[in-house]
Structure 1
Amino acid sequence: MQQMVTDNTRRNLLKAALVGIAVPVLPLGCANKVMSTRKPALIGCALQGRDKYSVVIADEQGLPLKQLPLPSRGHGVATHKTLNHAVAFARRPGQYFIVFDYITGETITLKTTKPNRHYYGHGVYSNDGMWLYATEGERTTSRGIIGVYDVLGGYKKVAEFTGFGIGPHEVIVMPDDKLAIGVGGVHTDGRKPMNLSSMQPSLSYLDATGELVEQVSLPDHHLSIRHLAHDGSDTVLCGQQYRGEPDAYPSLLAMHTQGGEMRSLQAQLEQWARFNHYIASIAATKEWILATSPRGNCYGIWSKQTGLLEELNALPDASGVIAYAGYFKISSGAGGVITQYSPHKKNKIQSGIQWDNHWSRIF
């Protein structure tokens, strides 16, 4: 029976993905003549109403150019530095990732999980573009896996890295080619946590062969390390989901440089309470760190030098953020797009898109 359900699911996912091949992906918003001057710059998953989901390609202002239907709700997106490839990952416990051409909108390939596996919603390309790394898990144990896929070989899985913990969420590639993994430490049944009293989150580093070379943690084991970014150099920013006492509000952001200790970023207790125990997306420039909280309907800006919160802004369903040319672009589930140049200096437009979770930049 399990095999039949899995086969049916795969067939349904494939059928849904093929819609992206069979049906032209139409430009949105402006006339074709105007559209021709706008280039793809941002990609993120979006909601389109009840049980309808898509991945949206937008210009540098955050205004949509094309969208591709998704079989189910998406989460993170990986973008290739030289090919016109992007990968949308299903929200955990996800059953698929879909590779598409962000210029034409055509589907390149759809990968689905084996019966006892799922995707955690994130992945990243290697610096040389040869490999795609995806966070994966074993359903019955939440054993953490990094799936390694051969890009030029049609995204065939060629290796699996494991042995770093359970419940990995986001993986990023550092400039020195190491993988940094936000290991949540939570065993789940679907989305239900099963081991909150014994969870063991970590920030883990693997080398290119999958060997665990460094692993650090925070003092409070109820801080599930989930979302990551790096500053373009050697510093990792990690955002946490707090799974402890409801009326406790610890720091939800930390910085780490390989070989050093975790450094928690600072804010007042009532300011951390605004984030409702959850950090979604993070980005950093040379001076500033920005983190969003869709659950808290807000985002904050920290000084990278002092580690202190400089500004806290309300934003309904604050979702994705990317850093570009020294400033930030922030998305909202209510359709807003914020350009944040520095603390207290920003502008806002409406995109008409119900952005969901994360944004990625096209290189």
Structure 2
Amino acid sequence: MITVAGHPLPPRLLESDDPALVAWRAKLPGRVEKVLDQWELTASAPFTPGGSSAWVAPVTGAGGEQLVLKVAFAHDEARDEALGMRAWQDRGAARVHRAERDDSTTLLLMERIAPGTPLAGQLTGPERDEVLAALARQLWVPPADVLPPADAARLRPLADMCAQWADEAETRLARTGGAYRSGAQAPTTSLPPELIAHGLALFRRLPHEWTREPVLLATDLHGENVLARTALTGACTGSTARGTGPRDPSIGAPKRVAGPHHASAGPVPAGPHHASAGPVPAGPHNTSAAPAPAGLRGMRWALIDPKPYVGDPHYDLLQHMFNEPERLATDPAGLAERLATLAGLDADRLRRWLLARCVQEAGVLDAAATAAQRLWADGVR
């Protein structure tokens, strides 16, 4: 049995049989011991069940600081995690003390958030929408506004990711015929070939249709990656969900009124995890907020585990919808309209993005295929 810093590996980190990850995992004990020694940290047992490609544990600094150490396999999606976290230090991300890349390993030392419970499973679905939309608006900023030019230029365009995922989905759907079930007891059915073809073509095309200024995207923004913290000045609150907070003016004025690739680290147990991000700087984008629903007052939230790309902000709302599968399958068009309104985006464009992503995830998440059929029947193209 592999142990790291005197503790067994979290279960999810043991599951993968990917050869590159298996080889990385075999060297993990030595890597962790090295960074604990160099950075003068003492580790406690890692969080469980953990993620599939990272060892994350509470640590104590030499001066007694309560921190979190993340030692992650530097796979392609997470390549720019540390860069994105640095960019969002005053915009809702957990505070990063130190970040390094060592061969195939990314090292992140972060403040510990208390209580650190994930948004997923808390509040009502509509209230979670408000939290996610408010946080998203704080994240959407042109990379050059928050990073040095060389770092901003490193970030990859959303179109690259979508093209790769569309190719993978095309191969999978050709093999399965787009088969899915609309419920646990429902018979297997299949997406129409014309819907598959249109959806994948749209998934490839939409990133290129965004003609406004590209913004920094988390791409894995959902309730498992948003943690609650004590009510301190500065992080995202439900009270900003009506569209206030920093944003790219090109996105448009706020209106009143979701896969296998983005696997989260899983439920985070109650207790401190990361510390709060710093205060959002004052400025012209920080306008007064409408009163928050009673369930949101005084609550603060912080982002962890982003997969940064640059492009169309509409994409960033999709993963949240996929993490609300019952609502997604029941009324995908209505859910998209609600989130677009909260985030100050175009509802028609978000519905098109949702159709494309649902086709791309068909056969992986049954709710996605069901939602794709409903959107198609509603005339979304």
TM-score normalized by the length of structure 1: 0.28
Q: Which has the higher strand share?
A: 1
Q: Which has the higher helix share?
A: 2
Give the number of the structure with larger relative contact order, counting CA–CA contacts within 8 Å between residues 6 or more apart. 2
Larger-Rg structure: 2
